Amino acid sequence: MRVLLAGASGTLGRALVPQLLAAGHEVVGITRSKPSADRLRARGAEAIVADVLDRDALLAAVRGQRADAVMNQLTALSTPPLRYESMRMTNRLREEGTANLLEAASLVGARRALTQSIVFGYGYRRHHSGPVDETAPFGVPEQLPVDPIHAALASTERQVFSTPGIEGIALRYGLFYGLDGREMQRMLRRRMLPVSTWEGVVPLVHHEDAASATVAALERGVPGHAYNVAAAPASWRHHLETAARALGAPAPLVLPPWLLRIALPYPAELMTRMDLRVSTERAARELGWTPRYPTVEEGWAAAAGR
Ligand SMILES: NC(=O)c1ccc[n+]([C@@H]2O[C@H](COP(=O)([O-])OP(=O)(O)OC[C@H]3O[C@@H](n4cnc5c(N)ncnc54)[C@H](OP(=O)(O)O)[C@@H]3O)[C@@H](O)[C@H]2O)c1
């Protein structure tokens, strides 16, 4: 398939582009910068320079293109989101960005649209009832400061599922890790990533595994379906202590939850409130996908050896 990929130059995009090309697909990456476009071309993709939030510029840039599928892998997280306001631009990319990309899809003749979502949309709380599957309520307001994030996730999913003539698929990824080892090492060395004593777990997925699930969803995903894409869950503390060991960095500071909430309001919401396991049975059954790195130990060992 020929894929118009927004976010091709991002961390997930960098894992995804080579996997799409290796599977025989053609990639037209969208980026805002010419140097990123040149890097995409050097990797064997085509590239378009456009800001996805500028509807008219985007539509002008894709005019004359043809594609079978459009993919939204956009975020604005190049600095870690420490406060709720840091998610504002990512929320816009999920709401307006998806709308603009779906208009672009119609212009280039694409019939399939995939969008990036995240399992945190199941809610920032303890999920007592065992692994959560894709039929559970998603993106529902919780009367918490994270509600705009939920609204944006619900919006991008709803848009791809409800656009006439489009086969929409949502990828509800776990927390990515793996390809950002150097950045992680830098932050751990500076003691910038404290953890709490909360033992709740969150779903995680190595970037390479997230990319392989995405290729499988492009090829075999059932229209109208969301897919949980995650490996074994881990507590933040276990995840970051494992990363520190693998990367030769000092163990993270352990702070009480109340102090973490003051220091890092948004991540603290995840690190002191959430206990979530997800079922990936649907991805295994319909996509034939299982992770290459089932645990953070295996994933960080691979990342450290890179
Ligand atoms: N599930 C998760 O845990 C999750 C999800 C997403 C990201 N993250 C993490 O967040 C960190 C940063 O992500 P990242 O490195 O991918 O960087 P990023 O700064 O979030 O950029 C992501 C992609 O979005 C594109 N983009 C952003 N705004 C755009 C716009 N207005 N128009 C067109 N393209 C736009 C960027 O392209 P250009 O800059 O080239 O224009 C880039 O390709 C990574 O550690 C990643 O793992 C985690």
Q: From CA 98, how far away is CA 191, in angstroms rounded?
A: 36
Residue located via tokens 């702070």:
255
Q: Which residues line ligand 1 (CB under 6 A)?
A: 6-13, 30-33, 36, 51-53, 74-78, 93, 118, 173, 175-176, 180
Question: What is the chain's pLDDT, residue by residue, as a tens digit (306 residues)?
Answer: 999 999 999 999 999 999 999 999 999 999 999 999 999 999 999 999 999 999 999 999 999 999 999 999 999 998 888 888 899 999 999 999 999 999 999 999 999 999 999 999 999 999 988 899 999 999 999 999 999 999 999 999 999 999 999 999 999 999 999 988 888 999 999 998 999 988 899 999 999 999 999 999 999 999 999 999 999 999 999 999 999 999 999 999 999 989 998 988 888 988 899 999 999 999 999 999 999 999 999 999 998 887
C-alpha 12 to ligand 1 mean position (Å)? 8
- Of 74, 92, 207, the one to substitute when testing ligand 1's pocket (max ligand atoms within 8 A of C-beta) is 74
Q: Which CATH class is domain 2-304?
A: alpha beta
pTM of the model as a whole:
0.97
Q: Per-domain residue ranges for the chain? A: 2-304
The structure tokens 């202590």 sit at 241
Beta-bridged to residue 11, according to DSSP, are none
Alpha carbon separation from 159 to 149, 155, 167, 301 (Å, rounded): 15, 6, 11, 38
